[in-house]
Amino acid sequence: MAQSLYVDQDTYHTMTLTGQGHVMAAPDVAVIRLGVQSTGTDLAQIQNENAQISQDIIQSLMQSGNTDIKTIEYTVDKSYEYDNGKQIDKGYSVRHILEIRTDQINEVGTIVDALVKAGSNVVSSISFELSDPNYYYQQALNLAVDNAIQKAKSISANFHLRLNSVPVKIMEGNISPIPIVRFQREAAATPILAGELKIEAFVTTDFLYTD
């Protein structure tokens, strides 16, 4: 039969400590945001031109096996220039940005080059992520708790306290976002390296101790 543990709170004091843990992981997903921006005075014409180039980009992606594609931005704006305070109508600007998610991490540079060749003239960003960040976060969280326990043991030993090393309360702190490696493209031949991502976890813990 299970027994409950009774703790006389009057004989114990509370020690509150924070713990931090992190793990490093190689990203397995690349997120590419690029597309087409077309300008001109004939709106229908530049919309058709933009749509055709966008279709060429999508077809190039499909042929290379990348099917996780979606539009994240489509805008039609009036374009103006100013000369001595006078507004000059320069026509229209049509912008269509796609988001491509791929597990072909080592082929990101090649994919981008192919899409530029297909007509893309805007590369917004390239980021690297984890397909299962929670798996790594759980590891970091356990390390954060271990860190807090080690702190409690160290302090207790230093002051000759009797410690209950099992935390009586654990609260997750604010989680720092996973750093995203961004690449602003300047040249087709530039290599794109994913690097590693740092996954962090923070906790605030309460321990009971006696003198």
Q: How far apart are CA 194 and CA 128, in angstroms?
A: 6
Q: Which of 129, 146, 179 is the last residue of a domain?
A: 129
d(CA 162, CA 149): 14
In the prediction, which pLDDT does 131 show? 93
Residue 163 lies in a domain: yes
In DSSP notation, 88-107 reads EEEEEEEEEEEEEEES-GGG
Q: What percent of the chain has pLDDT over 70?
A: 87
Is residue 4 included in any domain, yes or no?
A: no
Q: Which of 148, 120, 126 is nearest to 55 (CA)?
A: 120
Contact between residue 102 and residue 69 where contact means Cβ atoms under 8 Å apart: no
- Of 63-67, 76-80, 95-99, 197-201, give the range with the top mean pLDDT: 95-99
Same domain, 81 and 41: yes
pLDDT at 27 over 60: yes
Q: Has residue 2 been placed in a domain?
A: no
CATH code of residue 168? 3.30.110.170
> Exposure of 99 by Cβ count < 10 A (0-12 exposed, 13-18 middle, 19+ buried)?
middle
Rounded Cα–Cα distance for residues 17 and 2 (Å): 30
Note whether residue 53 is domain-resident.
yes
Residues 20, 45: one domain?
no
Residues 117 and 158 in one domain: no
Write down the pLDDT at residue 55: 97
* pLDDT tens digits, one per residue of 75-103: 999 988 888 888 888 899 999 999 999 99
Assigned token pair, 45:
């014409």
Domain end position, chosen among 114, 129, 144? 129
How many independent structural domains does the chain possess? Answer: 2
Exposure string over 168-178, b if 16+ CB within 10 A, otherwise e? eeeeeeeeeeb
* CA 107 from centroid of its chain's CA atoms: 19
Lateral strand order in the sheet of 197-210: 13-25, 197-210, 162-172
Question: At residue 11, does pLDDT exceed 90?
Answer: no
Token pair, residue 105, equals 């991490």
Domain shared by 22 and 52, yes or no: no
Average pLDDT of the chain, as a whole number: 87
Mean pLDDT of 190-210: 88
CATH code of the domain in which 55 resides? 3.30.70.2970
Q: Which domain covers residue 106, as residue numbers?
A: 29-129
Convert the pLDDT of each residue in 153-189 to its tens digit.
999 999 999 999 999 999 998 665 555 544 444 444 4
Query: Which amino acid, residue 186?
Result: E
